[in-house]
Every structure is written in structure tokens, then in C-alpha cells.
Structure 1
Amino acid sequence: MTDLNNQVGYWNSKGAAKTFGHPVALPWLNGIDRRARVLDYGCGYGRLAGLLVQQGFENVEGVDVAPRLVSRAKNEQAGALFTVLTNPPQLDHQADSVDLVLLFAVLTCIPDDAGQRELVTELHRVLRPGGLIYVSDLCLQEDHRNRSRYERFAAKYGTYGIFETDDGAVCRHHTTDWLDHLFGDFHLVASREVAVETMNGRPARASQRLVATPQPGASRAGRDGTGDA
């Protein structure tokens, strides 16, 4: 990935002090074996990994580009394994070896289309057939502040929705059409829109979806659906 899609300097300095709070629809995880192999990609300080350990998951790993965040995760969440990503999005995991991936507020930190596609392709590689990705990421916001900065940075980055934060990060908010396209090779299992706070404490709306890799012989119509929690 390019530096724009990594930004390790930001996440290892100012970003290391941020708080992340996207909610988890725990009923979406009810049918998953607690011995399943779970990967929290972009784990930050381990909030989600710790939550899943509390829910009884026994094999949870978090990966992140920022050594400071990973170090904090190791100190705060003893029940999970944490690793620094040295060549994101490449993972040291065999193909078809992961049952569930958490991808919370990660796409917003990977601004360009190619970087996001590369990540999703890598996650598809490591997921077993029928494996799940739980995605939570920020939609395009409708307030004046966000619309103004989308417009201000659209020419610079070539995509409406990419913007620079006041403290130096480059982020992206998404159309639902783009998210549908990005995960077009997966089956939609459940989806919802939720209220969240951004890493800078501002109210926002996020799209959450649970998607599955196809299983041999399974029909798309039989797997697709929507749900609430």
C-alpha cells in the first residue's frame, strides 16, 4: 500500500490517543462457534478483541500497523493475541484459515479505491468458505461541516468523501453503493445503520454489515438477507 493507505506515523502518534466506539451487534455472533478463529484487522488498542474474549471466544487475534496501539492492546487485553502488521494488508495467515474478520472503522483509514480492494482481496484469501466479515464503517454524512470538507478535498484526492482531519489524518466516508461494490463477491447476511461517535467525538452514522464468503454449492439467494439487532 501507499503511505496514504497506511499512515502509520499518524496512528503511532496522535492516532494512538483516539477512542473508538462503534457498537457491536452481539446477536450477529450468536451462531459462531466460540472456538472459531477470529481476526480483528485494524485492532487499535484491542477494544473489540477484548469484547469477544468476554463473550467466550477462545481464539482471537488483533493486527494493526501502529506498534504503540498494539503494545497498549497487549497490556490491556491479556486474553487475545496481538501482532504488528509490517506489510499491510498482507497477513501471515494461510488461505482458508480464518472464520471471522472484524473490520471496524478501517476502510475510513484507507482512502483510495485500490487500497481498499487490496485489503478486501487479502481478507477473502484468508477466510474459509462460509467465513464472515463484520464491517462497520462511516457513511457519507449529510451535515454542512462534512459536506463542505468532502467538496474541499474532492479535487485533491479525486473522490468525494475523502478529507483531511485537523490533526493530520486522511480519512474517507463512503456511499452505500461503494460498500456494496467492494463486498460484491460476498453474500450479505445482515445489515443495519447505527449512530456512532467518530474518533474525535463527533456524532455520525455508520453502515454495518455481516457478509460471508461463498460456500461451494451454496446459492446466493439462500444466503442473502438483512437483519437488525
Structure 2
Amino acid sequence: MKDLGTQIAYWDTAGATKTFTHPLHVPWLTGVNRTARVLDYGCGYGRVMAELSEHGFSEVSGVDLSPALIARGRRLRPDLRFSVLKSPPELPCAPESFDVVLLFAVLTCIPDDDAQRALVAELKRLLTPGGLLYISDVVLQDDERNRNRYATHADRFGTPYGVFAADDGAVCRHHGISELHTLLSDFDLVAERPINVTTMNGHRSQALQLLARKR
């Protein structure tokens, strides 16, 4: 779980068929120039990229570690720019290559603390000073089903609390809000909003969106 690509077999099979639902809160991007360089990191099949394009953003690109998801995106939206992430978390891009980076339901797919920190550090490298990092992810749930999943996985594997194995084989993580704040400690938090989402396996869950600015 320390490598972002360890679940690529899942994302190229069962994961490549999923529907992703975290909503884009367009008002957070009202002040962003429509020619800003926007990166959707972990773009899947490009659902958010397509919405950004429909709202007038002209310089949108997306990367994902799953060739199957990227192929699905290219079939659905051949007009958008997709790339396979070959050496996660690094991108072969110069520092300060992007003005906005989106990270939608990506941290939940990265159970390991060190891997999460490495990813956020790479996104900080890629952002221009004053650039925006927009995160949307699932927080810890307080129902009995999820509490049992968290405890079982922590006891068996010594993982952080909130990690669990989904019924279809994916290993996921739900986060304490303080954990997400700590990940963004090198950024200035601009806005935060709780939301409800339908997970890729059809469950209603509490989530959080955060908008942060690179210092």
C-alpha cells in the first residue's frame, strides 16, 4: 500500500467500470481565469474534466494510473487531454506547471500515510505560487458497518484507523477531518464544505471538500 500503483489490477478491472460522483462546486472556481492550467490528478474517465470544459475551462488535462480508465475517458471525450500516470506520484512536468489541481476521491484510494504525503508534496511542486488545490474525499463514517470495517482492518494489518477492504476487493481509506487538515499544513485553507456522496459501490457517505492555496 505504500505505492500508489499497487491496486492497479483493481482499477483496470472492476474499478474501470465504476461511476464516480463527487460534485464539482463551481463557485469555488469563479475567480479562476478560464485559460488557467488545470490538472485533474486521478481523473478516472474524465467526468470532472468534462464538466470543467463545459464551464469554459480550456486548458484542462487529466492523469490516472489506470490505462483502462484512461481508455474509457478517451472513448467518451476524445476532445480532452488524458495521460497515463506511469510513475506515481511523480509527473514528468516542470515545477509550477499548473494553476489549479483537483484531487477528487483519490486519497481514499491511497491507504498509506507516507504515500499520501508524497502525493501532496508532488502536487505542491506542480502548482504555481498562489495556485489552488481542490480536494474532495470521504471522511470517517460513524455507522456500525463502517466502524467494524475500520477496526477489523486495523487489527489485522496495523493500518491507520479508517482503512478497510471493500466487498469488491479495493482497499480504501476514510479520513478524520484533522488528518486532511494536517496533509494541507503547507497550504492556506481557503474554504471547506461538508457534502454527501454516493460511493462507487452505491453507499451514501459523508465527505468533505477543501480548497487550499499554495503559499
TM-score category by the smaller chain?
over 0.9
Cα 1:69–1:42 shift into 2, 3 Å? same
1:183 alignment counterpart = 184
1:158 alignment counterpart = 159
Runs of 4+ in 1 over 3 A off after TM superposition: 1-6
Count, aligned residues: 214
* Distance in structure 2 (CA, Å) of the matches to 1:4 and 1:87: 9
AA aligned opposite 2:122: E
AA aligned opposite 1:143: D
Q: Is the 8 A contact 2:164 2:173 kept in 1?
A: yes
AA aligned opposite 2:72: R
2:44 alignment counterpart = 44
1:34 alignment counterpart = 34
Tell me, yes or no, if structure 1 residue 114 matches structure 2 residue 114: yes
Residue deviations 1:177-223 (CA, integer Å, cap 9, x gap): 11010000000111000010111010001010100001xxxxxxxxx
AA aligned opposite 2:162: G
Q: Is the 8 A contact 1:59 1:80 kept in 2?
A: no
1:98 alignment counterpart = 98
Give the CA deviation at 1:79.
3.3
SS, match of residue 135 in structure 2: strand
Q: Is the 8 A contact 1:100 1:133 kept in 2?
A: yes
AA aligned opposite 2:153: F
Tell me, yes or no, if structure 1 residue 141 matches structure 2 residue 132: no
AA aligned opposite 1:135: I
Cα 1:4–1:77 shift into 2, 3 Å? closer
Tell me, yes or no, if structure 1 residue 213 matches structure 2 residue 214: yes
* Distance in structure 1 (CA, Å) of the matches to 2:4 and 2:50: 29
Give the CA deviation at 1:166.
1.1
Give the CA deviation at 1:5.
5.4
Give the CA deviation at 1:4.
6.3
What is the TM-score with the length of structure 1 in the denominator? 0.91
SS, match of residue 140 in structure 2: coil
Q: Aligned ranges for residues 63-102 of structure 1 at < 5 Å?
A: 63-102=63-102
* Distance in structure 2 (CA, Å) of the matches to 1:136 and 1:88: 19
Cα 1:4–1:78 shift into 2, 3 Å? closer
Q: Is the 8 A contact 2:4 2:89 kept in 1?
A: no
Cα 1:173–1:147 shift into 2, 3 Å? same
Q: Is the 8 A contact 2:34 2:56 kept in 1?
A: yes
Give the CA deviation at 1:26.
0.7
Structure 1 stretches lacking a partner, 5+ long = 215-229
SS, match of residue 160 in structure 1: coil
Give the CA deviation at 1:99.
0.4
2:58 alignment counterpart = 58
What is the TM-score with the length of structure 2 in the denominator? 0.97
* Distance in structure 1 (CA, Å) of the matches to 2:3 and 2:168: 17
- Could you say what the CA RMSD is over the residues aligned between the two structures, in angstroms? 1.2
1:199 alignment counterpart = 200
AA aligned opposite 2:150: Y
Cα 1:94–1:3 shift into 2, 3 Å? closer
SS, match of residue 119 in structure 2: helix
SS, match of residue 117 in structure 1: helix
* Distance in structure 2 (CA, Å) of the matches to 1:167 and 1:10: 9
Structure 2 stretches lacking a partner, 5+ long = none
